Structure 1
Amino acid sequence: MTATDDFKRYLAESPLVAIIRGVTADEAEAIGDALYEGGIRIIEVPLNSPEPLASIKRLSARLGDKALIGAGTVLKPSEVGEVAAAGGRIIVSPSTDAAVITATVNAGLVSSPGFFTPSEAFTALNAGAQVLKLFPAEGASPAVLKAQKAVLPKDVPVLVVGGVQPDTMQPWLDAGAAGFGLGGGIYKPGQSPEDTLAKARAYVAGVRG
């Protein structure tokens, strides 16, 4: 199966992406285990974390046959190959950078760039993006997403990222969100695996209504 097939399968199983910004390589496996036990199947290590490639490598070795591991805050095409070499299979960016998207697609990885306007969304899709990330969602609304979904291709998943809480997901789902990226709500640097598990379970319960 391709990385895109795996992404769609895992998203259908649990429409949540855990963004573990600030995790260290020594913590990564325990945090990854907690997220997996809590029901999350897609994990993103932002590249502005300490030793992110080491964390991605450890997570991929531990969970790579059970979850999709990748990198966030990817800003340069050259970083895509480094993530792939570490075992990462999804590239998430805060911006619509066509060069990063093209490099991701050429490497056989899932491209999930951030967008805020229809113009940015179509720029990303024309470059080959398979998933779109509405970011920062705090500056938008379910009504904005619903309007954008009316013109976007029906088969392109849109993830909502930014300020999402377990009890605020339903209006976004009603508007057409395919899932959510969870940052500080699910993980903060230094957080214990036990707290991470509890938060993961709360978000999984929230998204299932």
Structure 2
Amino acid sequence: MTRELIAILRGLTPDEAAPVTEALITAGITKIEVPLNSPDPFDSIRRMITHAGDTALIGAGTVLDPVEVGQLAALGAGMVVSPDCNPRVIVAAKSAGLLSYPGVFTATEAFTALRNGADGLKFFPAFKLGLDGFSALKAVLPAEAATYAVGGVGPEDFADWQKAGITGFGIGSSLYKPGRTAGDVKARAEELVAAYDAAFG
């Protein structure tokens, strides 16, 4: 099973990159992003790709500029995740052969993202949109559009969002925050994987 769980490692440092990546992969999470407002994010991403680029999809979050997309492509990253819907970033990612997951909240943003080639829609902040809001948008989106709930959604919510038609989730501070050990991250990742498998299995 390919689990549509994206680990968001905001605040990760380069020294933590390899051990935390290994912990996530061991637990069953193989899509990993380092937001670019983390310390030395490109160094962390480089180390993660060196360590596990053949077994995990590694990329960056909080990508706001096409120049950053070029830097990620040069490292061999696989995905670009953004907090907003910026067509220039989406097109740059697709032109460079990277997957693009822009942040959206409205129908206008969602369709703009899809028209520009987005691979998946990151509904953020999901807890503010809620299940009702997502269900209303899902009704008008193409059936094949991949959708991810990010922000304030945890394992206890997975089953309800799955019933509403979500594809997957991005998990940030409930999984990783500065100061947590790789062992802590692994234990939390295992809980997320178990909840995902129960909801989607």
Please give the TM-score of this superposition, normalised by the length of structure 1.
0.93
Please give the TM-score of this superposition, normalised by the length of structure 2.
0.96
Question: Which residue number corresponds to residue 120 of structure 1?
Answer: 109
Displacement, 1:70?
A: 0.3
Displacement, 1:121?
A: 0.3
Residue type of the alignment partner of 2:110: A
Question: Is 1:16 aligned with 2:5?
Answer: yes
Separation (CA, whole Å) in 2 of partners of 1:68 and 1:91? 10
Question: Which residue number corresponds to residue 177 of structure 1?
Answer: 166
1:63-110 CA-partner distances (Å, limit 9, x unpaired): 111110000000011100101112211000000001111101110100
User: Is the contact between residue 164 and residue 185 of structure 1 (CA under 8 Å) also seen in structure 2?
Assistant: no
4+ runs deviating over 6 angstroms:
none
How do 1:37-116 residues align onto structure 2 when only pairs under 5 Å count? 37-116=26-105
Question: Which residue number corresponds to residue 153 of structure 1?
Answer: 142
**Which of 123, 129, 142 matches 2:118?**
129
Question: Aligned-pair RMSD on alpha carbons?
Answer: 0.9
Separation (CA, whole Å) in 2 of partners of 1:145 and 1:65? 34
Question: Which residue number corresponds to residue 6 of structure 1?
Answer: none
Separation (CA, whole Å) in 1 of partners of 2:102 and 2:123? 9
Displacement, 1:193?
A: 0.5
1:167-206 CA-partner distances (Å, limit 9, x unpaired): 1111111101100000001000121011000000000011
Displacement, 1:125?
A: 0.9
Residue type of the alignment partner of 2:98: L
Secondary structure of the 1:168 match is: helix
Secondary structure of the 2:156 match is: coil
Identity across the alignment (%): 49
* Number of matched pairs: 198
Question: Which residue number corresponds to residue 32 of structure 1?
Answer: 21
1:103-148 CA-partner distances (Å, limit 9, x unpaired): 0111010010000001100011111111100000121111221221
Separation (CA, whole Å) in 1 of partners of 2:186 and 2:155? 14
